[in-house]
Structure 1
Amino acid sequence: MAHPQLADKSAEEVIVAKGAEKRGGSRDFADLERKALEYISEGVMIISAAGRVIYMDRAMRRMLEVEDAAGEVDLEELDRRIQIGMGRPLSWVLKGRGRAGSWEGEASAVTADGHAVLLHLKCLGLEAEDGRRVHLIIARDVTRERILERQLLQSQQMELLENVSLAVAHEFRNLLTVILAYAAMIEETPLGKEMPEVVRGIRDGVSQANELTARLLSLTRRSGARSEPVAVQQLIDDVAAVMRKVLPRNVALLKPENLDIVPVMGDRNVLYRALLNLCLNARDAMPDGGTLSIEADLVEVGEDEVRDMGARAAGRYVVLSVTDTGVGMPPDILKRIFDPFFTTKRGGTGLGLSAVKHGIEELGGWVKVYSEPGKGSCFRLYVPAVAGAVSAAVEEAGRVPPGKGALILAVDDDALALRVMQKCLERWGYRVIVAGGGEDALTQFRRIADEVAAVVVDVVMPFMNGEEVYKELRRIKPDVKVLAVSGFPPDTARRIFHAEGVPFISKPYACSRLGRSLAELLGRG
């Protein structure tokens, strides 16, 4: 029942009063609580399932320049003022993430007097004691931070430009030499049948020089993140064209040709700089030579997979991977690589990876990294795919066939990855036995080899790696079916896991990808 004495109070006063009531009516503590709320820099807002703002603290009102939230602001008004990512309203987050638990990201907001601010939002779906659902929104004004980050990004872009400029300048001089030589031929040769060939040579030289200049300009262009379809194959080709100028002779470059994949939705300049940055880092990680691979894949992230995959939202994403076979990184370095100004390079600024992460997150994506000391590193950029576009490969994949109770042995030394694998397999109707390493897997397999339909094994594990486990499994049961999973892309994984005919999928994977791959292995696809 409502308290008559609280009927005319603001939502904030009601909350403070209720808190005091639970503590035995301590007014002194309630006053302290009210004063504390005045100095909290993060804004807090609670929205009912019906879209009514039932609580807005002073910090949130300051950010949006709202005098009194009661009766003045509802979800429709907030949708006009707050835009998430690529022009989506706030209600998009509440509808899509409220049921799944949480969402975190940035939004642009317009205050009452019309000036723009940038907010970092955390949105949580909560359930009250009486079963009613509400949305808790916590906001932080990051306008000044983003201005400073843009200044840092410009510094990083200049570093990137310096990194490639010498090689590009050398190539440019070669083109100018060609143009000048053909011009001299025109000067020295009477007009005749050679003229078309000479003119064509000049035209080709100018065209290549113009293309090279455009690539340099794309490294320095400053603009806010745009949202437009970007062709993945062309993006990779353009990055590869620059990398071929700067890679030493002992580093091989591998990239896909004729990709059948949907376009990504994002800013081409941001994606180009991010891929180029990762490729230059990969080059520097291979002082003794090796292989640099650029790959692309399409994944579907379901509502229940968002938290496990670290996704921003459910949907389809194109995964752009940059992999090297270099020195790799230990865990203590790995956890700090995206920190601004953190660097292991002599003379480095430590801004490159921080800029990559921020740029991809601005596009609604995220970055994952996998590395093993002595084996190399793999960076994956998850970028939203163009909505509605379907590739031939996706149409062919279809739905995931059910597992029908088949017994699967899942092997991974990472407890979290193993738990995700088990959850995915059980979701598709498989029975699952888990093993936390190679020795454990072999012990269990010897006991139930005849019952196991397939083994899903991680490639890189301590003490006994995936290849060694596979060889022992074959000795126990020669016709055993094995699916390999790895933090590295398939082409890279095959270079460290020598097993003819064993299919690979890359971490982190969507449950549907794992289900389809296993169904194909068992002959149900």
Structure 2
Amino acid sequence: MDRVKTAYSRTKMDYSPATLSFRGDAAPLEEPFRETYVALSLRRVRIGLAVGVAFYTIFGILDLLLTPAVAPTIWLVRYGIVVPIAVLAFLATYARWFPRYMQPILAGVVFAAGASLVAIIVLTPPPTTYTRYAGLILISMFGYTLLGIRFVWATAVGWTLALLYMALSFLLVDRPMEAELNNSFYLIGANLLGMFACYSIEHGLRRDFYLAHRLQQEEDKVREANEELAERVRERTARLESANEALRVEMLVRSRAERALRDSEERYRLLVENSPLGILLVDRHGWIVDVNPALLDIMGSPSAEATRAINVLTFPPLVETDIAEDFSRCLETGEPVSADRPYTSKWGKETHLRYHLAATRDPDGAIIGVQGIFEDIGERLQMEGQLRYAQKMEAVGQLAGGIAHEFNNLLTIINGYADMALQSIGPEDALHEELREIRVAGRRAAELTTQLLTFSRHQTQELRTLDLNGVLTSMDRILPQLLGEGITVEVSQDPDLGAIEADVGQLEQVIMNLALNARDAMPEGGAFQIRTANVDVRADDPEAPPNIEQGCYVLLSVSDTGAGMAREVQERVFEPFFTTKDQGMGLGMAAVYGIIEQSGGQIRVDSDPGRGTTFEVYLPRIDAPCDIEPVEEAAAAAAGETVLVVEDQVSVRRLASRVLRRLGYTVLEASHGPEALEMLEAKPTPVDLLLTDVVMPKMSGTELADRVRREHPGVRVLYMTGYAANALGERGVLKPNAAVVQKPFTANDLAARVREVLQAEPE
């Protein structure tokens, strides 16, 4: 090992980490390296300049397409300044004086290209100017990696352009602050990445040059030694000439063998030190003799010295996990051992190890130690567990979506006819109360399908800017009734609470589900507390959820004084269908988790048995005025329009048709797409609206709509579906701006949506 260290010290390059320039004993190599660097880079520089001019010229097409108003001015900068500069630089590469001034010339070309792009950004009107910064990233990365600019010059130009962009952009460009911060963040990140790439490229070239120089020096020394030895041999007497020749040959062979040994040791050292697997050597008595850096990281050891003080046969963390027993068996029997075991180091690192132990032997075959190869598979096992959980959630989500779709078709019929019946009779009618109970039960069933969709995160959201305090105030009568007698309700609201963006119905569902969970935890009564506050989360905040991003949030804290939860219950509290209650389906907390995740927030649970439970919901805080609750208006009646209803479910089709006929529409009915197309061809008067289900046999609703739009321009389209509209949009079934009425819908829902689509601007 000492020989390895000596060989390594001879080849260690002395350079400045900041500028990469050679220093100390290696300082005289700086000028030869620069000359060599120019010779090696000249062809790449010419190709890079040619490619850069081509790309910079081609991108002028975007100026005409995106900003035709200012394209002449931008072209003046692009083709009148930058391209000539780059062409002159290309021609200069053939001049004798170019190697001396190559770096400032290339840096000047990159600066001219970048500065011109900053000027173009300032000249370009919004919103096109918002994405122009990407070109600056391309120019910076071009300078860092492709043009042969050394690290010092490339870094100076890259950061000068970045600072110039950020200064002029903030001062002269009218752009949202979020866009400014986003562009600056990506530009800074690109510069850091470019610096790393440029640094690595130049460092590698310098290292190769330095090693080649050192190799030449060593070869010169060996040659001089051989010549001196030959001179001495020639001076000897003729009687010793044959013996001296044999000695010279022997020394030459030995020299080559020693060099081969040094090379072999160096290769072994590099192989061991750079291996991602942990490697250690143990002597006959169990003491660690040597380790590589990867093993230090795997074992969580602070240093190699601390690790060499360990005896693997008695070290407590190894004894507790039976790893020590495996070492002992390998030392005693000489048989190899392979195993996977959990491991917690003396220094607190917890992981899972996979290892292979093999005995080492002396020339006589006696066991003198053990060689171990270790792999940290803790992160892999964790990722495999996360993958299995994600696959389970995906499968259950698909099941939930299918169940919700079938229920929604049935509930559309039940709720729709109940609404129509209630509208046909007065409150004094004997059947009014029974019909009202049917309608209430239908709404509860609709809420169940909503929970199924929410749990699978496929529920449609109607995002609005909300005041969380206002939502809580609107529920001040519901919560005491929901919690029941014996439970006191305390609400603490931050008067300066910021706004959030969420679905008000889903947010109310979160609060009610958390309240129901608290109620079930306090069968003998207790205290239920709700608190709101503005919080600023730091990246290293130990009190925040583990995966939350740094930023500004609105905190909703819900606490109870109930029985609390054990650690294993907390780990599964948000899993679908997990419940500790005798009744219930375990969807409530899963729905809470799905809503918070879908709203861009995070949730954290803090509980101990006997100490109560606190749920902390973090929702992103936004700077915007809250929406005003709209006044609900009755849907307008028909204005003589004709509606074609296409639905394969007979009951749903009849319901929709009856609702529309009562409103005065002329209604045509079809059970599938081909039948609808035949009716359109045979209909003497035009159809104003196509009301179609999405999923149907023979032809889907989207295929039917495309045919109708193509063959009968002017017909409006309204889809009805029991699946979540946003889920269909994510899968590409529906276009993002498609008009949809969600099943189960009421008569008023359908009437309002039909009127809205008919009165909308033509597509």
Q: Tell me which interval the TM-score lies in, with the shorter structure as reference length.
A: 0.3 to 0.5
Relative contact order, higher structure (CA 8 A, sep 6+): 1
Higher strand share: 1
TM-score by length of 1: 0.36
